[in-house]
C-alpha cells in the first residue's frame, strides 16, 4: 500500500467538500453507538469528574484532564482516519473508560471513605438496560436518547461531588458487581452488536447466526478453489477471512473500489488507482465476487468493464458468493 493510504481513507468515508462537518456529526453518532455496545464509555465523563475531584491540587487535575482528552482524541482519531466507522476500530476507548471508571470508584472510596452512589447507581441501571436496547421502540433508538443517559450519569456524579461529606461508607461489593456488569454487556446474546446512528443492526445472537451462515458459504467456495490458489476478492472482509485463501493484491479487500458505488470521487484517490492495478498486474486465476456488496452494475463503470474483461463470473443470486475465472 502506498503512503497515501491513511490520508485517503477519510476521503471514502464522506463526500468531498463536506469532510469536517460530516466527520464531527458522524463522530457524535459513532460515540453514541459505541456507548450502547459498551456503556462504560457513556459514563466516562462522569467517572472522570469524580477522579478529578479526588485530586489534591489544580496541577494534578489539569494533568489528568489533559491525559484523558489526549487518549480520547487518539482513540477516536484512529476511527476517523480509517474512515469505516466500525465499532472495533474504537476497541481501545471502552478499555480506557473501564480503567478510568475503576480508578475513579476506588480513588473516591479511598479519599471520601464511601462509594460514589450516584455514579454506581446510574452505571448499574445502564448495565441492565443496555442489553435490552434492541427491544426499545424505533423512536427511542436515537443517538440523542443515548446522550441523554450520558447527561444523567454526569448529573449523578455532580450530586456525588456536592454530597461528598454526607452518607455512610457503603459496601464496595455492589460497586465491583456493577463494574463487572458494565463490562459484561458486550457479550449478552440480546445486546446490540452492530449499530448505525442509534439504530440496532444486529444483536450478538443474530450476528453469530449470520457468521455461521457466512462460514458455510465460504466452505462451499473453498471446495471450488484449488488448494493454495491465490484469489482476487470482490467481497467483504469477513467473507475473505472465512474463505482463507491469500490474495496477491496489496489491497486484499477492495474497499476503495467498492466505495465508488456511493461516492464517485473515490476514483480520483491514489489508493483507488493502486487497488485497481491489481486487475492488470499479474492478476490471480480466481476471483470471488459478492454481488450484494460489490455490484458490478453500480460501481464505477470503467472499473466494472475492466473486471468484466478480466474475469468470467457466472450468474448467481446477489446473496451468493461466486467463483470467477481469469479469461
**Tens digit of pLDDT for each residue in 201-260?**
999 999 999 999 999 999 999 999 999 999 999 999 999 999 999 999 988 899 899 999
Question: Is residue 259 within 8 Å of 14, Cβ to Cβ?
Answer: no
For 118, residues 6+ apart whose C-beta sits below 8 A from its C-beta are 155, 156, 157, 158, 159, 160
Q: What pTM, to 2 d.p., does this model score?
A: 0.81
Q: What is the pLDDT of residue 93?
A: 95
Q: What is the pLDDT of residue 15?
A: 53
CA atoms of 10 and 27, how far apart (whole Å):
12
CA atoms of 283 and 248, how far apart (whole Å):
8
For 295, residues 6+ apart whose C-beta sits below 8 A from its C-beta are 261, 318
Maximum alpha-carbon separation in the chain: 79
Q: Write the DSSP string, 5-50.
A: HHHHGGGGTS-TT-HHHHHHHHHHHHHHHHHHHSGGGTTHHHHHHH
CA atoms of 298 and 291, how far apart (whole Å):
10
SS3 label, residue 233? strand
Cβ-in-10-Å burial (0-12, 13-18, 19+) of 327 comes to exposed
For 201, residues 6+ apart whose C-beta sits below 8 A from its C-beta are 192, 193, 194, 195
Task: Cell 459478492: give the residue.
Answer: 290
For residue 284, pLDDT over 60 is answered with: yes
SS3 label, residue 234? strand
Mean pLDDT over all residues of the chain? 89
CA atoms of 197 and 94, how far apart (whole Å):
18
Length of the chain as a residue count = 327
Q: What is the pLDDT of residue 217?
A: 92
Element of type H or E holding 195: strand 192-196
Arithmetic mean of pLDDT, 39-56 = 95
Q: Which of 125, 145, 134, 139 is nearest to 188 (CA)?
A: 134
Question: Is residue 48 within 8 Å of 104, Cβ to Cβ?
Answer: yes
Question: Is residue 232 within 8 Å of 249, Cβ to Cβ?
Answer: yes
CA atoms of 34 and 21, how far apart (whole Å):
20
Q: What is the pLDDT of residue 295?
A: 93
Q: What is the pLDDT of residue 4?
A: 57
Cell of 294: 460489490
Cell of 152: 444523567
Amino acid at each position: 500500500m502506498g503512503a497515501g493510504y491513511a490520508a485517503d481513507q477519510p476521503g471514502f468515508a464522506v463526500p468531498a467538500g463536506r469532510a469536517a462537518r460530516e466527520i464531527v456529526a458522524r463522530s457524535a453518532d459513532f460515540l453514541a453507538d459505541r456507548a450502547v455496545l459498551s456503556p462504560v464509555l457513556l459514563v466516562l465523563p462522569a467517572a472522570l469528574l469524580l477522579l478529578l475531584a479526588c485530586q489534591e491540587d489544580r496541577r494534578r487535575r489539569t494533568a489528568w484532564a489533559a491525559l484523558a482528552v489526549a487518549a480520547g482524541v487518539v482513540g477516536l482519531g484512529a476511527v476517523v482516519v480509517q474512515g469505516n466507522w466500525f465499532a472495533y476500530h474504537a476497541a481501545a476507548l471502552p478499555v480506557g473508560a473501564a480503567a478510568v471508571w475503576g480508578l475513579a470508584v476506588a480513588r473516591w472510596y479511598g479519599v471520601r471513605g464511601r462509594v460514589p452512589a450516584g455514579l454506581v447507581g446510574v452505571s448499574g441501571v445502564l448495565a441492565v438496560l443496555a442489553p435490552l436496547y434492541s427491544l426499545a421502540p424505533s423512536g427511542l433508538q436515537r443517538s440523542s436518547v443515548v446522550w441523554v443517559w450520558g447527561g444523567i450519569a454526569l448529573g449523578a456524579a455532580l450530586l456525588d461531588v456536592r454530597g461528598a461529606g454526607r452518607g455512610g461508607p457503603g459496601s464496595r461489593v455492589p460497586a465491583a458487581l456493577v463494574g463487572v456488569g458494565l463490562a459484561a454487556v458486550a457479550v449478552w446474546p440480546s445486546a446490540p452488536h452492530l449499530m448505525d446512528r442509534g439504530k440496532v443492526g444486529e444483536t450478538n445472537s443474530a450476528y453469530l447466526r449470520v457468521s455461521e451462515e457466512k462460514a458455510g458459504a465460504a466452505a462451499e467456495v473453498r471446495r471450488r478453489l484449488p488448494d493454495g490458489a491465490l484469489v482476487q476478492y470482490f467481497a467483504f472482509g469477513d467473507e475473505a477471512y472465512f474463505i482463507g485463501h491469500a490474495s496477491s493484491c496489496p489491497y486484499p479487500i477492495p474497499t476503495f473500489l467498492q466505495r465508488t458505488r456511493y461516492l464517485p470521487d473515490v476514483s480520483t484517490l491514489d489508493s483507488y488507482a493502486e487497488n485497481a492495478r491489481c486487475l492488470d498486474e499479474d492478476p490471480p486465476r480466481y476471483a470471488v465476487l459478492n454481488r450484494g456488496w460489490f455490484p458490478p452494475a453500480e460501481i464505477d463503470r470503467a472499473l466494472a468493464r475492466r473486471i468484466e474483461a478480466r474475469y468470467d463470473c457466472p450468474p448467481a443470486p446477489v446473496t451468493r458468493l461466486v467463483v470467477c475465472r481469469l479469461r
